[in-house]
Structure 1
Amino acid sequence: MIERAQPTNYELVRQDIIEGIQSSISNLVLKLAECYYSDGNSKELLCLAGTVVCQYKGNRYNTPIEIWFQQDHPQVPPLAYVKPTPDMYISTTSRDVQPDGAVIIPYLRNWRHPNSDLDTLLNAMSQAFSQSPPVYSN
C-alpha cells in the first residue's frame, strides 16, 4: 500500500507507519484514501486512522484520530485530525484542536526532520489530550 502512494521518502514513511501501528498508546490502521484540503483540492495519501489514548480525571479515553502523510513526509509534518464519532463533538474550548478537527499542538507546528517522528507525535497528542480533552459526548 505504501508503494501505491509513491511517497518521496519511502523508507522514512514506512518507518513512521510501523511506529504508529506498533505504538502502545494508539490503535491505528493504515489506509490509502483521498485527503481533501481546505482549498478544495484533494490527493490520495496514506493515513493512519484509529485512536490515541489519553487519561483525564483518572479515566482512560480513546480519542479518534487520523494522521495523513503528505507526499514529502517527513520533510513536511503530517496532517493530524481528531475525528469524532457520531455521538461525539469537538470541544469549543480545546486549545489543541480547531473546530474542523485539525490538531494544532506545538509538536506539529515545530516539526523538523530528522528530529521529529510519529511516535513522539502520538505521545505529544496523548499528553495534550490528557490535559484538555478535544472531544466530548452527549
Structure 2
Amino acid sequence: MVSSSSIRFIEAALEATGDRALSYVHHGLKWLIRDDLLSLFDDFRTLSPGSDTLTHNDGTTVHLLYAHGVLPVSSSLPPVLLTIWLHQAYPFVAPIVYVFPATGEQMVVHDHPFIAPSGSAVLPYLQTWQYPKSNLSDLARNLVKVFRICHPYGFIPTSPGRTDASLASKREAIDRLVAALHYDVKRFQAQIEEDMKQLCSRQATLRERTDMIDRALGDLELERLRSKEAAKQMVDNADVLSNWLQSHGTESCLYMDEVEGFEAADETDRCLLDNEAAAQAIDDAVEVLGEALAAGSVTFANYIKQVRCLAREQFFHRAMVAKIQRSNESSSERAIC
C-alpha cells in the first residue's frame, strides 16, 4: 500500500501552477503519470517520490517528477541507489535512470554494459520503450534482472545459477546477450590494442634494420665509386707509362706486355676488364655483407636475398669473361695456323 504522504505529494506536484508547475507537455495524461508512479511505489516500497529541476544534455532545464531510493536486487547482492526521472514527454518518451554509488566503497564499476560513464542507465528496455506496453513498474523489474546479471557495484552473486534458455524471457535473453557482447567487445579491444603495440614495435625494428641496410648499401656504392676512380687513375698512369716507354725507343718493347696489362687494346678487352672487375667487386660486396651479418646489422633473410641477387649478377659477368676468353683463344689458334 502506497503511503498517503506519497499520494498527496504526487497530486500536489501535478496540480501545481506558476513557478512550481511541472514541465509535462501532455497535460491530459497527468492521471497516467500519477497511476504509474503509485503502481511503482506499491511494487517497490523502498522508492519515494520527489520533484526537481533536471538539465538535459542539450542544456535545457525542466521541472520533473522522479522516484528515488534503493532498488533491492537479491538476498546475496546489495541494493542499488538510483533515481528514475519521468521525461517531460512521458509516457511517449522513456524515463531517464541514473545510478549512484551507495557508499564510498560501493562505487559504480567502470565499463559497465548497462551504465554509461555519466551514470545514466543504458538498457534495451529503455531503448525500445513503447507506450502502452512499457511502464515504470516493468522498468524497475527489468532493472532488477539486469543488475542480477551485472551488478553496478561489481558484486558477484554467491550462487549465480544458470537460466534455462527455454525458460528465459525474450527480454532477459536480450539483456544477457547485450552483456556478453559488451564484455566480448572489451576483450577484443584489449587484444587489438596489444597487437597494435607489438606491430608498432616490430615496425620500429624493421625501420631500424632498413636504415642499417641503406647505410650498408650506401657504403658499398661509395666503395664502388672509389674503386672506379682508382681504376681510372691506374689507366691514366698506364697511359703515362706507355708514352714514356715509347719515347725511349727500343726499351719500350721490354715493357709492352706490362702496358697491355693495364690498358685494353680494343673494345673486346675493355669488356673483359669491366666484367672481371664487376665480378671481383661482387666478391667484395658479399664479404662486406657477411661482416654485416656477423655484426647483426642485417638479418639472415636479407643477407640471403642480397647474396642471391649478387650471385646471379656475378654469374653473368663470369660467363661473359669466359666467353671472351674462349673467343680470344680461338682467334689466337687461327692466327698461328
Query: Shorter-chain TM-score category?
Result: 0.7 to 0.9
Q: Identity of paired residues, percent?
A: 23
Large movers: runs of 4+ above 3 Å: none
* Matching residue of 1:2: 14
* Matching residue of 2:199: none
* Matching residue of 2:264: none
1:81 is aligned, of 95, 98, 114, to: 98
Q: Distance in 2 between matches of 1:131 and 1:68?
A: 23
User: AA paired with 1:115?
Assistant: K
* Matching residue of 1:49: 68
1:130 is aligned, of 148, 151, 169, to: 148
Q: Cα offset for 1:105?
A: 1.0
Residue 54 of structure 2 corresponds to residue 35 of structure 1? yes
Deviations along 1:25-66, one digit per CA (max 9) or x if unpaired, are: x511111101121222221110111111113xx613210010
In the alignment, is the contact (CA less than 8 A) between 2:80 and 2:102 conserved in 1? Answer: no
Residue 40 of structure 2 corresponds to residue 20 of structure 1? yes
Segments of structure 2 that go 5 or more residues without pairing to the other structure are: 1-12, 17-21, 156-337
Of Structure 1 and Structure 2, which has the larger fraction of its residues in helix?
2
User: AA paired with 2:14?
Assistant: I
Segments of structure 1 that go 5 or more residues without pairing to the other structure are: none
Q: Distance in 2 between matches of 1:124 and 1:70?
A: 18
Q: Distance in 1 between matches of 2:80 and 2:14?
A: 25
Give the TM-score of the pair, scaled to structure 2.
Answer: 0.38
Instruction: Give SS of 1:44's match.
Output: strand
Q: Distance in 1 between matches of 2:54 and 2:137?
A: 22
Q: Max radius of gyration: which structure? A: 2
Of Structure 1 and Structure 2, which has the larger fraction of its residues in strand?
1
The count of aligned residue pairs is 134
Q: Distance in 1 between matches of 2:102 and 2:55?
A: 19
Q: Distance in 1 between matches of 2:23 and 2:109?
A: 36
User: AA paired with 2:41?
Assistant: I
Larger RCO: 1 or 2 (CA < 8 Å, sep 6+)? 1
* Matching residue of 1:91: 109
Alignment of 1:56-71 (within 5 A): 59-71=76-88
